Amino acid sequence: MKTRIEFNNFFNKSRNEKLSFLEGIERIKDASAIEPLIELMEKEEETGIKEKILLILGELIHDYDYKSLEKMFTSCDPFTRNGAIEILKESKVHLYKHLKRLSEHPDKDIRKFSIDALKEDPSAESLEIISSRLTDKEINIRITAVEYLGNLKAIDCTDKIENMLLNEDNLLFICTALESLANIGTAQKRKQIIDKFKNTDNPIILPSFIKYIGAIGGKDELTILLKLAIKDKNVVKREFIDALESIMYRIKPEKLPKDMIALLRKTIETTDINGDKYEILKILSSEEENNEKLNIARRKLKSDSILEVLSAIEIIGEEGNKEDIDLLDELADSTENDDILEAIGDAATKLIRKNSE
């Protein structure tokens, strides 16, 4: 009873008195203090005191008592919930055993927290627990599991995610699955998935589908990408450009379709985002023959557009020769723009290295 009274008076103490009291509990190492300490941590407002309580709990729960951790996982206090995860992480021996049990808990929040604890853990044990939630009755938990498996590049789960995607109508699930499969980078059922979404006009699905196309697409998908961009004027330019660059890097096509080049030229005129303009300039420049590409880049060194100058410098750095160093030196003498000067330095270094090999 005395211990309970002391705990009840905890919030009437000063900060130093609270710390002194907690140090006493820490010295005693009494497991019966676990439950009241959890209650204190939930109600305490100062982060430093909460962290001290968590430290003591980590020491007291020697065997990672399931019931105590379950109480922490069901807490309304985010710090307490996360604290349960941190306590489990202290011992890998117990981590997977208890998280597997928690992942099957009747409380949906506890099931969710159990895989939250593993979202950065690529181990086989972790992936097994997360993938078990692909069949969870709660759609939000299935979505979370798909997201984490994609971030962890869980190749062995590709087939499960693809099958779910082909049979799911929930928009958030569809978008998450498409982006997760893009992250994983494998496509066992690519044709079925592309056939399902290639005619989509849903503005929510479209950006995720374009990311998917960019990650797994080949020459045939360039045409699909073009049709999507032409059909929907609201297509996200950043996703479109990224997808196009990704496919070009992977398959290295000799030439882009003429319609694609025309669309890129139109896009560069309508976009207000400098980063997009810069990337489009690089793509268009790459379509020229090497000699012509270099000649165009050399002429663009005198452009009034900083973006054109930057793209020209990058091309010269990749494709130029020793004589181009003089052109870069002349440009460096005539500009005070920091971005241009930095790009010149990078390009000159590449040219010097290339000509010394």
262-304, pLDDT tens digit by residue?
A: 777 776 666 655 566 667 666 766 655 556 678 878 888 988 8
Fold of 1-90: Leucine-rich Repeat Variant (1.25.10)
Q: What is the mean pLDDT of residues 183-199?
A: 92
Q: Is the pLDDT of residue 172 over 70?
A: yes
Alpha-carbon span 36 to 56, nearest angstrom:
12
pLDDT at 321: 86
The confidence score (pLDDT) of residue 3 equals 46
Average pLDDT value for the chain: 85
Q: What is the pLDDT of residue 291?
A: 62
| Number of C-beta neighbours around residue 110 at 10 A | 19
Q: Is the pLDDT reported for residue 181 higher than 90? A: yes
Task: Give me the percent of the chain exceeding a pLDDT of 90.
Answer: 43
CA proximity to 62, closest of 31, 103, 40: 31
Q: pTM for this one?
A: 0.71
Percent of the chain with pLDDT over 70: 85
Please tell me the predicted confidence (pLDDT) of residue 339.
93
Residues in Cβ contact with 99 at an 8 Å cutoff, skipping those fewer than 6 apart = 88, 114, 115, 117, 118, 129
More confident residue, 92 or 299: 299
In SS3 terms, the chain reads as: CHHHHHHHCHHHCCHHHHHHHHHHHHHHCCHHHHHHHHHHHHHCCCHHHHHHHHHHHHHHCCCCCHHHHHHHHCCCCHHHHHHHHHHHHCCHHHHHHHHHHHCCCCCHHHHHHHHHCCCCCCCHHHHHHHHHHHHCCCHHHHHHHHHHHHHCCCHHHHHHHHHHHHCCCCHHHHHHHHHHHHHHCCCCCHHHHHHHHCCCCCCCHHHHHHHHHHHHCCHHHHHHHHHHHHHCCCCCHHHHHHHHHHHHHHHCCCCCCHHHHHHHHHHHHHCCCHHHHHHHHHHHHHCCCHHHHHHHHHHHCCCCCHHHHHHHHHHHHHHCCCCHHHHHHHHHHHCCCHHHHHHHHHHHHHHHHHHHC
* Per-residue pLDDT band at 126 (split at 50, 70, 90): very high
Tell me, rounded to whole angstroms, the distance of Cα 107 from its chain centroid.
28
- Residue 310 in tokens: 């930057």
- Work out the pLDDT band at 117, boundaries 50, 70, 90: confident
Looking at residue 2, its pLDDT comes to 44
Is the predicted pLDDT of residue 51 greater than 90, yes or no?
A: yes
d(CA 351, CA 150) in angstroms, rounded, equals 39
Contacts (Cβ under 8 Å, ≥6 apart) of 24: none
Mean pLDDT of 232-261: 73
Q: Which residue has the higher pLDDT, 280 or 21?
A: 21
Q: Is the pLDDT of residue 63 over 60?
A: no
CA distance 151 to 135: 19
User: 149 and 157 in contact (C-beta within 8 Å)?
Assistant: yes
What number is the average pLDDT over the span 237-243? 79
Domain boundaries, the chain: 1-90, 181-287, 288-357
Which tokens hold the place of 283?
């793509």
Output the pLDDT for position 65.
Answer: 63
Dump pLDDT digits (tens) for 130-170: 999 999 999 999 999 999 999 999 999 999 999 999 999 99
CB count within 10 Å of CB 211 equals: 22
pLDDT at 27 over 50: yes
Encoded tokens for 100:
């597997």
Q: Which residues contact 43 (CB under 8 A, 6 or more apart)?
A: 11
Instruction: Output the CATH code of domain 288-357.
Output: 1.25.10
Distance CA 352, CA 357 (A): 9
Those residues whose C-beta lies under 8 Å from the C-beta of residue 278, and which sit 6 or more positions away, are: 307, 310, 311
